[in-house]
Structure 1
């Protein structure tokens, strides 16, 4: 259900232009992370850093993004959607250039946190624009369709980043990120309309923002569902931060072989997202959640068993991982759509809350892969733990598994 004061979205069906534009915005954090993945071992050697420290340059982006979303969300509800995203992407360009000339791992980690903070504007505004224009199954469908664009990042970004690093070194990868940011800024400036008219904007200032977050926190069902994308992303980010070391150092894959594996797994992400986009037209998002989440937990358990026993070798590990990554794509779009539908009158603040939990939880949990040893069992243990907590939240903190639980969602 939605709370009072909601406004009906002006369009009935998402169009290709919405998918492409919002997908490019939402893909900025994915591109920022994935283009850099093949270079992680080289960064550690060049800067004399440990595996855990190098992984912090990945998870630092998530932590910064979580904080940034909490700030950008309310700003977008009273400033409108365009200004925050243009400022955020502009700063992303500057930080990317600074990362290319970083003198040490500590500075790089700090810059990546700042980069995540300002990247948050693109993600928050993309989610808020979806809620401005669409609702219900249309919103969930569009969120899934965005994965087609976002999925290009794991398909292409590591390959592009690996090629750039092999020719010009890992620092040049950040210059490529700056170039991508410039292109995105120009597309947003020319193509993103203002979807929040002045009469629908909220009162400016910190007090209204805090009141908005207090309202969200009082809705325990909203909070419970808003946690699920973060726990799902923890499973995904455990793979992202652990795979360069598991596959390259543990199984001896080259940078190009690793990029190929990452691309194949990207196919699972994109394909499952498109299946979900079609499925939500016939099946309620909550019903998809309550089936997909137990399946994901079971698959993570199989992955842990394979990692511990080395059954099937590398091929066995990759096969189970491919299925698990596909199942994950049925979780965040549906959970986010349900959560956003409850507070459409402050879509920016709600989107920020969801996004902050998503990146904050993932940024906190995924470094455990390095702490536990950085090998395949460590990666699988963190995945199992995240999926188990997600299922407990869905089962105990929401009416999802009750006979009359959220029949319309």
Structure 2
């Protein structure tokens, strides 16, 4: 495949999970009313998606190493379409929970294979450049999600949101069939239990991999975690409508896009490592502002979203370098390495969502949990930098 094909297809697959969350979030308060249930039950539907997404990556990665990227992708997209159909036809909140769990399992293949095919074909600065371009698309897709979700909800109702997801899944399947060329030699032996354990142990015992995974868990994981809190903060406490919420979330994705475009302009001059340092500084500064804002300022739109935007801008500078460094030692098991780092990110978001539910007040949870995650990533970045200087 050409670099352009790898970039566009990787972007489409990688956005499968994030756009499925972005389209859904404006409907969460509406689903509370539609099913006469509690906020906790609807928050659980997002946590079910996180849980399925996180755990299934541990299967999707080795399966893509064993059966090939293309076959594994089509299997999981089929699962995603099934979950979307179950949710679209859901008569009860329990069916929504089941559908979201199945969706999460199916969507897990996107980020795994999207990163793995880049690692299969490219390394170093070339890989970072492709991942940055994928990041631009990753900003545009989910940026449109809340807006599209809010408008669709207002016009057609919540069932139509899952019809949109079915359409997105069919698009991903069609492009996989037409454009994905196999990038590894399938090896079914990699599915044997002993080999799976050895592969994951090889990845997990790498201190470089652990450092990069903690960085991504604290920053990307924070994006997943705050998606369980922001709808309730902005709609119930700042009093935005679902449509206004969808439009307002453009600030988050817009700053990710701005960061990705800025990185594209300065990466050659500054170098990827220095750009990553700039990114982690933005994440740390945003985290401190976020904690102070929630503690001392009555909530309004900019008090919530300005620090989110700062962190997201930093994330765009940070991610391509960190992902490239983390996957570089594992060309022979790129799928498994990509799966494990994705699992750690989603698990961080999953448990942060549960922690937020235990705190109760979404605003308080937002001001405590997200800054802690971002600052943990800053500490892990210091650890990674020391390792790289010593190697």
TM-score, structure 2 as length reference: 0.93
Instruction: Give the whole-Å Cα distance in 1 for the aligned partners of 2:286 and 2:136.
Output: 23
**8 Å contact 1:141–1:276 — kept in the other structure?**
no
**8 Å contact 1:229–1:358 — kept in the other structure?**
yes
Bigger CA drift: 350-359 or 50-59?
50-59
Q: What does residue 44 of structure 2 align with?
A: 56
Cα-to-partner distance string for 1:185-224 (whole Å, 9 max, x where unaligned):
11111111111135x8864422212110111122122222
Q: What is the aligned counterpart of 2:12 among 14, 18, 24?
A: 24
Listed as ranges, the gaps of 5+ residues in structure 1 are 1-10
Deviation at 1:357, TM superposition (A): 1.1
**8 Å contact 1:292–1:327 — kept in the other structure?**
yes
Q: What does residue 6 of structure 1 align with?
A: none
Alpha-carbon distance change, 402 to 227 in structure 1, aligned in 2, over 3 angstroms: closer
Residue 195 in 1 paired to residue 197 in 2? no
| Paired residue secondary structure (1:52) | helix
Residue 155 in 1 paired to residue 118 in 2? no
Deviation at 1:317, TM superposition (A): 3.3
Deviation at 1:368, TM superposition (A): 2.5
Residue 165 in 1 paired to residue 153 in 2? yes
Alpha-carbon distance change, 253 to 129 in structure 1, aligned in 2, over 3 angstroms: same
Instruction: Give the whole-Å Cα distance in 2 for the aligned partners of 1:148 and 1:356.
Output: 22
Q: What does residue 178 of structure 1 align with?
A: 166
**8 Å contact 1:140–1:277 — kept in the other structure?**
no
Instruction: Give the whole-Å Cα distance in 2 for the aligned partners of 1:368 and 1:298.
Output: 23
Q: What does residue 404 of structure 1 align with?
A: 389
Instruction: Give the whole-Å Cα distance in 2 for the aligned partners of 1:88 and 1:245.
Output: 31
TM-score, structure 1 as length reference: 0.89
Residue 85 in 1 paired to residue 73 in 2? yes
| Paired residue secondary structure (2:239) | coil
**Any residues of structure 2 matched to 1:2-401 within 5 Å, and which?**
15-198=3-186, 203-310=190-297, 313-396=300-383, 398=384, 400-401=385-386
How many residue pairs were aligned?
A: 391
Deviation at 1:251, TM superposition (A): 0.9
Q: CA RMSD in A?
A: 2.2
Cα-to-partner distance string for 1:50-85 (whole Å, 9 max, x where unaligned):
223212212321221111111111111121110010
Alpha-carbon distance change, 42 to 65 in structure 1, aligned in 2, over 3 angstroms: same
Alpha-carbon distance change, 242 to 218 in structure 1, aligned in 2, over 3 angstroms: same
Identify, as 1 or 2, the structure richer in helix: 2
Structure 1 residue ranges (4+ consecutive) displaced by more than 6 angstroms after TM superposition: none
Listed as ranges, the gaps of 5+ residues in structure 2 are none
Deviation at 1:104, TM superposition (A): 2.7
Instruction: Give the whole-Å Cα distance in 2 for the aligned partners of 1:181 and 1:374.
Output: 34
Bigger CA drift: 336-345 or 230-239?
230-239
